Amino acid sequence: MKFLKPGKVVILTSGKYAGKKAVIVQNSDAKSKERPYGHSLVAGIKKYPKKVIRGMSKRTIARRSQVGCFLRVVNHKHYIPTRYVIELTKELRGKINVSDATKRSNSRKLVKKVFQARYNAGANRWFFQKLRF
């Protein structure tokens, strides 16, 4: 049974974003000539939102509530799947493409918009908290 499906939350264990949370957007168990290993396209949080208190101005709150994101193709061996699932298929299905720089940039902007909307709505609170270990 395959459990690495789109929407599964994972924690990256190696590379630039080690220790960051991400969501599988597309999964490929098949090997290819370009990538001779199972891999996934993941969208993750590069910069977590900071703590906000009541005495801060609206501008400060808006700045501290920003979510930074990244898109990366990752080997299955370089992340740990969690039990959590985030349903992103409706917003991102067929719209993510990382083949060249302009499409990657547009895709990253779309992912940032989706993550920011989720954070502002208060959904999936665990996903937007920094991992402490």
Task: Give all strands (DSSP E) within 1-133, no chain letters.
Answer: 8-12, 21-28, 39-47, 68-75, 79-85
Task: Give all strands (DSSP E) within 1-127, no chain letters.
Answer: 8-12, 21-28, 39-47, 68-75, 79-85
**Which whole number is the average pLDDT over 23-46?**
91
Label residue 40 by pLDDT band (50, 70, 90): very high
| Cα–Cα distance, 131 to 133 (Å, whole number) | 6
State the pLDDT at residue 30. 86
- 72-120 pLDDT, tens digit per residue, is 999 999 999 999 999 876 778 778 888 889 999 999 999 999 999 999 9
Confidence check: pLDDT of 58 > 90: yes
- Which of 32-36, 58-62, 82-86, 108-112 has the weakest average pLDDT? 32-36
Going from the N-terminus, what domains does the chain have, and what CATH number goes with each?
A: 8-124 (2.30.30.770)
Confidence check: pLDDT of 70 > 60: yes
Confidence check: pLDDT of 32 > 80: yes
* Contact yes or no for 43/96 (Cβ under 8 A): yes
State the chain's mean pLDDT as an integer: 91
State the pLDDT at residue 96. 86
State the pLDDT at residue 94. 78
| Cα–Cα distance, 10 to 21 (Å, whole number) | 6
State the pLDDT at residue 89. 67
Express as a percent the part of the chain with pLDDT over 70: 98
